[in-house]
Amino acid sequence: MMHNLTIKQMSEKLRAGEFTSVQLTQHYLDRIDQYDAELNAYITVTPELAISMAEEADRRIAAGEAELLTGIPVAHKDIFCTDGVKTSCASKMLDNFIAPYDANVVSLLKKVGMPILGKTNMDEFAMGSSSESSYYGPTKNPWDHKAVPGGSSGGAAAVIAAGLAPMATGTDTGGSIRQPAAFCGITGIKPTYGAVSRFGIIAYASSFDQAGPMTRSAEDSAWMLNAMAGFDERDSTSLERETPDYTAELDRSLKGLKVGVPAEYFGEGLDPEVSNIVKAAIDEVKKLGAEVVEVHLPNKALAVPSYYVLAPAEASSNLSRFDGVRFGYRCEQPKDLEDLYKRSRSEGFGEEVKRRIMVGAYALSAGYYDAYYLKAQKLRRMVRDDFIKAFESCDVIMGPVAPTTAFNIGEKSDDQVSMYLSDLYTIPVNLAGLPALSVPAGFAQERPVGLHIVGPYFSEAKLLNIGHQFQQVTDWHTKMPAQYQ
């Protein structure tokens, strides 16, 4: 079946004429029609746009003007502005918003010639770890419909796991690519902060947000990252440096690689089965020639409280633009301007978004700025410094992506602290702005488990090399839920 092919195999078969981009795109659209009503992984499906873009891709392929990704369809997380397509951020606030321009990532993938299947479901404004806070209802995990797919890029992870798209864009603010990748048994990478442009991504927390690819395998992610990364003058945080070929090191041997394993990762709170699977995955990397050394991240416990001061503070500022005046949701028959602001925001935002806005506004308020926001920034530096020191004695750090497998829908809805702690291992990476990769490593209670690989700044090629070599000796990334095969 076409949806079981790798990106490279799809590309080769498109060029060999075994099928066309229109046929490949229609195959995925048919699967979306068949399966998505139950999964709820897409907010918007764009069949007319997808087929017209596929027709153009076929013309490019026939003319010999195609790149490797030309003609291969993609799904975009509904946080990326897409010209002429609803871009809702899974919020009632933007339910009527049709983006008037493309995000940089969308325009880059359009330029390559990738048909757009649609926009995927997510936590509202990317605030969540389960995709349950979406205005359009929760997405289900393809491996078990009782379980969440993770968040906030849960829809993107679910469409890949179920074969409703070969690849998807995601964003990662505190683990929102890696945690759903782990929960759904796919591969996802968060690049170094600034490596992929944030232009046209609806902002949650600007100093944390980072776009990245979500695919079946590390090799597929490398091809996709090649098309997504690069300097963008419209993004003030975009890094002006030469973009490497992320596929160039995929086949490099892991002999001599030093893998750091923090003792702090395997303590209280980690599910024993998840722990055993992650340790077994690290042993597989050892068999490939890597050396394992113990490292320490003593300030890991400070990461979550620091993040949940800083990210809401940035969110309270970024979301102030949604006021019912210029675009988005507006309340009915406001009495005056103050009533317009208050009711538009209170009716347009969901509970989790309002909670984080309030926390952020409080942390930034006079009298509390030094006690909360400034202190959290100092903790952020300490967390970053821990990683820098650890990398003096190792090349990468490995551990779990999340303390458990995917939890059930509704299980943590009334326990926000427990929900926040599901990002315990991923948040420190965002505080430091480092790149990190999640690859499938096994199953516990018949739900996927991910291996987390963290590297120094700009080590994406090395991370993808490690992920690819691991996937040459394991087959977890090829597994697919039985009903979607």
pLDDT value at position 378? 97
Residue 400 · residue 452 · CB < 8 Å: yes
Q: Considering the candidates 91, 133, 153, 176, report the single residue annotated as catalytic.
A: 176
Active site residue 152: yes
Q: Which residues pair with 170 in a beta bridge?
A: 212
117-135 tens-digit pLDDT: 999 999 999 999 999 999 9
Question: What is the enclosing helix (H) or strand (E) of 214?
Answer: strand 211-215
pLDDT value at position 416? 83
Q: Considering the candidates 21, 77, 275, 300, report the single residue annotated as catalytic.
A: 77
Active site residue 300: no
33-59 tens-digit pLDDT: 999 999 999 999 999 999 999 999 999
Q: Is the dihedral of CA 344, 348, 349, 351 positive or negative?
A: positive
201-215 tens-digit pLDDT: 999 999 999 999 999
Q: Which amino acid is at 162?
A: A
211-264 tens-digit pLDDT: 999 999 999 999 999 999 999 999 999 999 999 999 999 999 999 999 999 999
Tell me: pLDDT of 415 over 90. no
**Cα separation of 79 and 176, whole Å?**
12
**Cα separation of 65 and 60, whole Å?**
5
Cis check: omega of the bond before 152, within 30 degrees of 0: yes
Residue 88 · residue 130 · CB < 8 Å: no
Active site residue 119: no
Could you give the domains of the chain?
Answer: 2-257+394-484 (3.90.1300.10)
Token pair listed for 159: 């469409």
Q: Considering the candidates 91, 152, 217, 459, report the single residue annotated as catalytic.
A: 152
Q: Which residues pair with 141 in a beta bridge?
A: 144
Tell me: pLDDT of 111 over 90. yes
Question: Could you tell me the pTM of the whole model?
Answer: 0.97
